[in-house]
A = this chain, B = another copy of it.
Amino acid sequence: MKTVVVRNIKRADAELVKRLGSIGVSTAHEAYGRFGLMKPYLRPVWAGAEAAGTAVTVLAHPGDNWMIHVAVEQCKPGDILVVGCSADNTDGMFGDLLATSLMARGVRGLIIDAGVRDAKTLREMGFPVWSKAISAKGTVKATVGAVNVPVVCAGINVVPGDAVVADDDGVVVIRRKDVADVVAKGEKRAADEDGKRKQLAEGKLGLDMYSMREALAKAGLVYVDELDED
């Protein structure tokens, strides 16, 4: 692994990424064939946070945020910073100063497989962050890593320029080349769900709406009036 900063990356189309954001994480993930979802231990630092953007990636060492400082310069408006770590870590590798710097560059949010601090200020600033922990634990600037190389973050390999969508349900990553397809399928899916929601609200059963009864019987499900014993 080279300790390298890659300056030029190909970003997913900004307009498509915006539409992905409207679709939301759960629907985008379904539209992507149920792939690309980061592990659910990543949680928003403040409830209600939502972000969609293109990935600028950082490979950092645990307890060392030097590479995040390096990555800021590579960010453009519409990006999301994605930080992976070479070993498990919950230290507070990111705080309000770095958030100020990212906001000044038009960055939409941070996804970090480690801890962050200044949680209250991040909420007040409205800067969206998904992290593994909140911790005041300070970090050093001692070992170089890499910027804009593929990094594993919370179980997903993120390629620089990938589309990233994050909300209360988690974080999903979609390859640049797949974004248009996922947007198309996701918007259709969202429209379909509106119709289903209306029927369900009127009392229609999913069993009937999805025509599940026959398949259930075939799979061996039986209905009885009483359970004869435990």
Chain A residues engaging chain B, CB cutoff 8 angstroms: 1-8, 25-26, 29-30, 32-37, 39-40, 43, 46-48, 61-63, 66, 69-70, 72-73, 86-92, 95-98, 100-101, 103-105, 115, 117-120, 133-138, 140-144, 148-150, 152, 155-157, 159, 167-170, 172, 175, 177, 193, 196-197, 200-203, 205-207, 210, 212, 215-216, 219-227, 229-230
Contact = CB atoms under 8 A, between A and B. Distances in A.
B152 A157 contact: yes
6 contacts: A6-B227, A40-B137, A73-B207, A143-B219, A152-B156, A155-B155
A98 B199 CA distance: 11
A26 B216 CA distance: 27
A135 B87 CA distance: 10
A44 B66 CA distance: 29
Given A4-B222, A87-B90, A206-B98, A26 B136 contact: yes
A120 B218 CA distance: 36
Chain A contact residues: over half helix, strand or loop, or mixed? loop
Q: How many copies does the complex hold?
A: 6
B212 A40 contact: no
Nearest to A33: B1
Contacts of A229: 177
Contacts of A156: 152
Closest 7 CB pairs of A and B: A40-B135, A136-B169, A1-B35, A157-B157, A119-B168, A26-B136, A101-B200
A40 to B, nearest CB: 4
Contacts of A86: 34-35, 37, 137
